[in-house]
Amino acid sequence: MEDNSQQEKWLQGVMKETFSEQKKARRWGVLFKSLTFIYLFILLILFMSAGPDMGSDKQNDSHTAMVQVNGVIAADQDANANSIVTGLREAFKNEHSQAVMLVINSPGGSPVQAGYVYDEIKRLRGLHPDKKLYAVIAELGASGGYYMAAAADDIYADKASLVGSIGVTASSFGFVDLMKKMGVERRHFTSGEHKAFLDPFSPAKEEEQLFWQEVLDVTHKQFIKVVEEGRGERLNKAGSTVELYSGLIWNGEQALKLGLIDGLGSPGYVAREIVKAENIVDYSVRPSTLETITKKLGLSIGSGLASQLKSETSDFTLQ
């Protein structure tokens, strides 16, 4: 009897363990099925989005083409040269677009990215001499944003828009004294006498500061040359050009007097009154639906952290 009782307990234990394992397996099965469903759903969205939206509402009727520049101009931002240039090419290529508007709302950013766009606008205007490009500044067209605008046939802005900031900036921090107070020793190994000249944890050297200032000054001269080539005799140089290129920023009315813009008006005004094609078609390249969803889900947090930690060197921007 005792043996039978032990066998029954053993059998119950085995059955209980089996049922427990089956229950766990079912839970894992539900989890994997859910993940599979989510994966397939994302693939479906990707298929439906079919890449960036490049003016999907194009029409065969006469219209004014528009490409938007929103936010900081940088290779890893929405306002990157590749996206802007792609939109501009499509806008110029469409035979039904009567003119192209580059609508800018940007504080500036990378001089390289802005330069790419500037050069491409010049090239496209050469290929399509009968199709004008108008830059229209919304709230802000500063620094790299104005750099791009200088390539346009004409520039428009609202009377309260902020325009200009023709200058270059590079900024960083110095933590040398703080580290001394905290008793922290910096160990930074390099090959090359000036390889770490922007390191915020090393003492600043006068010759390196002079060198970096020269780099900024040369880039500033490049910016000035672009503006003067683009604006030509329209620039009002009655006052001091030092002020014009000092990095200051003006509202639309002031910018008009300085010759930085050609008129006051919105994108709608330019399309209706200047181009005479009131219908506006947006050719801006935008992230796909999938990219938007993944960003909202926080899947881009890693890239965001990486961009913050990518380098100890200072940011170098047109501002």
pLDDT tens for 96-151 read: 999 999 999 999 999 999 999 999 999 999 999 999 999 999 999 999 999 999 99
Q: Are 37 and 253 in contact (CB under 8 A)?
A: no
Q: What is the pLDDT of residues 190-207, one digit of tens each?
A: 888 888 778 788 888 888
Residues 291 and 174 in one domain: yes
- Flag whether pLDDT at 53 surpasses 60: no
Instruction: Report pLDDT for 310.
Output: 43
Smallest CA-to-CA distance from 100 within 52, 154, 140, 56 is with 154
Residues 59 and 120 in one domain: yes
Residue of higher predicted confidence among 48 and 118: 118
| Lowest mean per-residue pLDDT among 96-100, 182-186, 307-311 | 307-311
Average pLDDT over residues 275-285: 95
Residues 44 and 78 in one domain: no
Residues 11 and 26 in one domain: yes
Residues 69 and 12 in one domain: no
Coil/strand/helix, residue 234? helix
pLDDT band at 48 (very low <50, low <70, confident <90, very high): low
- Is the C-alpha dihedral spanning 177, 181, 182, 184 positive or negative? positive
Residues 43 and 86 in one domain: no
| CA 2 to the chain's CA centroid | 79
Residues 206 and 66 in one domain: yes
Q: Are 62 and 278 in contact (CB under 8 A)?
A: no
What one-character-per-residue DSSP string does 15-36 give? HHHHHHHHHHHHHHHHHHHHHH
Q: Are 178 and 200 in contact (CB under 8 A)?
A: no
Mean pLDDT of the chain: 81
Range of the domain at 14: 1-50
Residues 143 and 192 in one domain: yes
Residues 1 and 111 in one domain: no
CATH code for the domain in which residue 304 is found: 3.90.226.10
Q: 268-290: b or e for each residue (b if 16 or more CB lie within 10 Å)?
A: eebbbebbebeebbbbbbbbbeb
- Flag whether pLDDT at 311 surpasses 80: no
| Lowest mean per-residue pLDDT among 28-32, 67-71, 222-226 | 28-32
Alpha helix stretches (DSSP H) within the chain: 2-49, 81-93, 111-127, 144-149, 176-182, 206-231, 241-244, 252-258, 267-269, 289-296, 301-309
**Per the structure, how many domains does the chain have?**
2
Residues 43 and 161 in one domain: no
Residues 64 and 98 in one domain: yes
Instruction: Report pLDDT for 307.
Output: 47
Residues 43 and 64 in one domain: no
CA dihedral 155, 159, 161, 166 (to 10 degrees): 60
Coil/strand/helix, residue 218? helix
